[in-house]
């Protein structure tokens, strides 16, 4: 692994980050059931430009489902979702494609295309949405690999990569279209503490370097501590509390306390 780049990622702190007073995501009264299973029961959430919001919640409470609703991978039953000024639930196919190119989605298991090399994985979205000449094309691929410190993986197959490397390539693949918003589904789950920390700093780096707004779904409190500007807690299909890491760590609520106990 590239030593110099690693230390580079480790030095990142939250200082100097600008959060504008402008909402890029507005969700109100979002509801969704699968049959009898009422997963989301009235979600309200706002995310500002440049802000990172962490969503905490137990396994199976619908965190992944919430992220998928935002890009309309799953159609919600009712409510309103407004992303970058567009009403997600009523967009036509063309507008939806346009919106999706501005959103990066980091899947829980990275979801790399396993019949393609890393380079082809990165080229896949690039070829389809931007008309770059060959130099610019290659430069963009190198740039994004550089920013996740994975330049040496370029000709590998996903099956040859470790879990942490796969996550990084997954990040690189969404970065390639320069998204304004990134949705991270449990970015650190299943990784060792050191790699988890690196991924957390990577999230902050994205915020700092590219001014992206993020929603980070996680139950990893050390990740939440590093990346969050604000935390919301999901329970029984609703957000029960919201605040900064500091505020929530002093909360009396038993449920909220249970997340902080591990630390």
Ligand X SMILES: Nc1ncnc2c1ncn2[C@@H]1O[C@H](COP(=O)(O)OP(=O)(O)OP(=O)(O)O)[C@@H](O)[C@H]1O
Could you say whether residue 60 binds ligand X (CB under 6 A)?
A: yes
Please give the structure tokens belonging to residue 224. Answer: 């939440």
Residue (126 or 231) nearer to another protein, CB: 126
Q: CA-to-CA distance for 16 and 57, rounded, in angstroms?
A: 29
Q: How far is the CB of 92 from Mg ion (least distance, A)?
A: 29
**Of residues 10, 14, 128, 139, which one binds another protein by CB under 8 A?**
128
> With contacts defined by CB under 8 A, how many residues of the chain interact with another protein?
25
Q: How far is the CB of 156 from another protein (least distance, A)?
A: 17
Q: CA-to-CA distance for 151 and 20, rounded, in angstroms?
A: 33
Q: CA-to-CA distance for 33 and 46, rounded, in angstroms?
A: 22
Could you say whether residue 38 binds ligand X (CB under 6 A)?
A: no
Residue (153 or 188) nearer to ligand X, CB: 188
Could you say whether residue 34 binds ligand X (CB under 6 A)?
A: yes
**Of residues 23, 61, 64, 228, which one binds Mg ion by CB under 5 A?**
64
Could you say whether residue 113 binds ligand X (CB under 6 A)?
A: no
Could you say whether residue 65 binds ligand X (CB under 6 A)?
A: yes
User: Closest residue (Cβ) to ligand X?
Assistant: 64
Could you say whether residue 132 binds another protein (CB under 8 A)?
A: no
Residue (149 or 188) nearer to Mg ion, CB: 188
> With contacts defined by CB under 6 A, how many residues of the chain interact with ligand X?
11
Could you say whether residue 107 binds another protein (CB under 8 A)?
A: yes
- Judged by the rule CB under 6 A, the positions of this chain that interact with ligand X are 34, 37, 39, 57, 59-65
Binding residues for another protein (CB under 8 A): 68, 71, 73, 96-98, 100-101, 103, 105, 107-109, 111-115, 124-125, 128-129, 173-174, 177
């Amino acid at each position: 692994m590239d030593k110099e780049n690693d230390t580079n990622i480790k030095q990142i702190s939250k200082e100097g980050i600008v959060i504008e007073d402008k909402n890029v995501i507005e969700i109100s009264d979002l509801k969704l059931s699968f049959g009898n299973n009422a997963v989301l029961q009235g979600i309200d959430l706002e995310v500002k430009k440049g802000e990172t919001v962490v969503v905490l919640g137990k396994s199976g409470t619908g965190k992944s489902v919430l992220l998928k609703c935002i890009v309309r991978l799953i159609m919600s039953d009712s409510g309103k979702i407004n992303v970058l000024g567009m009403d997600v639930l009523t967009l036509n196919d063309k507008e939806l494609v346009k919106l999706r190119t501005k959103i990066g989605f980091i899947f829980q298991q990275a979801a790399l295309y396993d019949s393609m090399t890393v380079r082809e994985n990165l080229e896949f979205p690039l070829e389809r949405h931007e008309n770059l000449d060959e130099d610019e094309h290659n430069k963009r691929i190198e740039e994004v690999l550089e920013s996740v410190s994975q330049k040496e993986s370029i000709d590998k197959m996903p099956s040859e990569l470790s879990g942490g490397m796969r996550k990084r390539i997954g990040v690189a693949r969404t970065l390639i279209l320069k998204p304004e918003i990134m949705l991270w589904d449990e970015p650190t789950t299943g990784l060792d503490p050191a790699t988890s920390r690196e991924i957390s700093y990577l999230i902050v780096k994205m915020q700092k370097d590219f001014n992206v707004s993020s929603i980070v779904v996680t139950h990893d409190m050390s990740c939440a501590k590093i990346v969050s500007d604000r935390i919301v807690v999901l329970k029984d299909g609703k957000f029960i509390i919201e605040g900064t890491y500091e505020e929530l760590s002093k909360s009396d609520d038993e449920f909220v306390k249970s997340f902080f106990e591990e630390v």
